[in-house]
Amino acid sequence: MEKGYLISLGTVDDNGVWVADVIYVYDHELSIYWMSSPQSRHSLAIEKNSTISGTITASQTPGEKDFGVQLCGVAAKLGKIVKPAIALYDGTVTSARPVRKPIPKTIKREKLSIDEDGVCYEWAKAGKELSDVNNESRMRFQDIIATRLNTRRAIREMVYPYVNKLQKDIDGVRNKLDQILQLLTHQPDVTP
């Protein structure tokens, strides 16, 4: 499965069989994950009938022996997803993938903490291994998740402090206006 990146996902709806190619990732338990629009035909079909089938073809070059995997199973929409992430030493996430949330026993045993972005494991790397074309295991799907994590972290680090300060300033102005209004409403009328 690690040689492939695309699964031809078979679903069935009221109009018959439907096959959609989706980019996937998988975990050590061989659970397969993909992201799709909830309005896509295969997503709507899975809501009504969760039985799926699929093929993954790892053979990519002409003349290469055919090699692939055929599978069937049950699909379900994931709720909260956790992500192991690979990051540079400065905290920039270079790759991340979704996995099922570890069970409480595993979280306790491995002393895991899941951060506010849902990251459960993070490995700091220098980044040299990312330029090794022979060891390129990142996929577009992983890059999308990494980009989202980096965006959330950047907003939290660079924007939230200013928004919080602005909110405090606005609260201070409101308090001053309330004091002025209170003074004006309690003053006797001095007009002749």
**Sequence spans of domains, the chain:** 6-74, 83-149
Distance CA 98, CA 83 (A): 5
Residue ranges in the chain modelled with pLDDT below 50 = 129-140
State pTM to two decimals: 0.43
Exposed (0-12), middle (13-18) or buried (19+): which is 138, by Cβ within 10 Å?
Answer: middle
Specify the pLDDT at position 137: 47
According to the model, what pLDDT value does residue 16 have? 93
- How many CB atoms within 10 Å of residue 22? 19
Chain mean position to CA 33: 11
Which residues does 125 contact at the CB level (< 8 Å), separation at least 6? 86, 87, 88, 89, 94
Pairing of strands 83-88, 119-125: parallel
Tokens 């895991």 belong to residue: 112
Would you state the structure tokens that stand for residue 54, as one six-digit string? Answer: 């699929």
pLDDT tens digits, 87-113: 666 666 666 666 666 677 877 887 877
The residue to which tokens 């409403």 are assigned: 185
pLDDT at 132: 44
- Predicted confidence at residue 138, as pLDDT, reads 45
Superfamily of chain region 6-74: Electron Transport, Fmn-binding Protein; Chain A (2.30.110.10)
Can you tell me the distance from the alpha carbon of 36 to that of 27, in angstroms, rounded to the nearest whole number?
Answer: 18
Please report the pLDDT score of residue 161 as a whole number: 86
Q: How far is CA 115 from CA 85, 88, 126, 141, 164, in A?
A: 11, 17, 22, 21, 21
